[in-house]
Amino acid sequence: MSAKLFSAAIAAAIATTASATLAFSAPNGAVPGRAPTIHQPRAPGVLVVNATTVAQDNPVANIAPGATTFETANVKCAAKKCILAMSAMDQIGLCDANGGWAIEVYVDGNLVNSQYQGPQPTSSIVPGFQIGNWQGFASGLAKGTHQVQFQTYVEGNCIQDQWAIRVDSANYQ
């Protein structure tokens, strides 16, 4: 088989596979090759009105044993009832002592949850850096502005590197 004929056969096979994949993956009423419209399901009476996303790339801060706030977000709830959905990613490393670490989140000074992330990365246990993730929610919040604090808890001196947070508020009508 010549190289030209082989290339044509491969191109035809790829085109056939791509057409079949588009036809198979397109939901009812969607046009193959065009992105479908996605409708997000919502509970009746719920309106998401506020989203806060913050990312810090490479701040490299020294943190001491205990809890250190790495981000604070002020989120407004516009209705009588509100729920906050929150997430965080945090990276620590080069700790000088063995121990564990956690990501803690507070809303209006009240602990939502402290999620243990594992052993601190030290040269003897886990070298380098570790990334931890946290997700949680706070419900039954009153109308007004609420302060969300994201903290890293460590049991030795560590370096905090990159992090990101997200807070979504949903108001109940």
Number of domains making up the chain: 2
Q: Are residues 33 and 55 in the same domain?
A: no
Q: Go through 101-124 and write b for each residue having 16 or more CB atoms within 10 A of its CB, e for each that does not.
A: bbbbbbbeeeebebbebeebbbee
Can you tell me the distance from the alpha carbon of 100 to that of 153, in angstroms, rounded to the nearest whole number? 8
Q: Are residues 153 and 87 in the same domain?
A: yes
The phi, psi pair for 29, rounded to 5°, reads 85, -10
Q: Are residues 15 and 76 in the same domain?
A: no
Do 163 and 91 form a contact (C-beta atoms < 8 A)?
yes
Q: Are residues 99 and 25 in the same domain?
A: no
User: pLDDT digit of tens for each residue in the chain (173 aa)?
Assistant: 444 544 444 444 434 433 333 333 334 444 444 444 433 444 445 455 566 667 666 567 899 999 999 999 898 888 888 899 999 999 999 899 889 999 999 999 999 999 999 999 887 665 688 999 999 999 999 999 999 999 999 999 999 988 889 888 887 76
Can you tell me the distance from the alpha carbon of 52 to that of 164, in angstroms, rounded to the nearest whole number? 11
Q: Are residues 130 and 96 in the same domain?
A: yes
Can you tell me the distance from the alpha carbon of 125 to that of 129, in angstroms, rounded to the nearest whole number? 11
Give the domain range for residue 158: 46-172
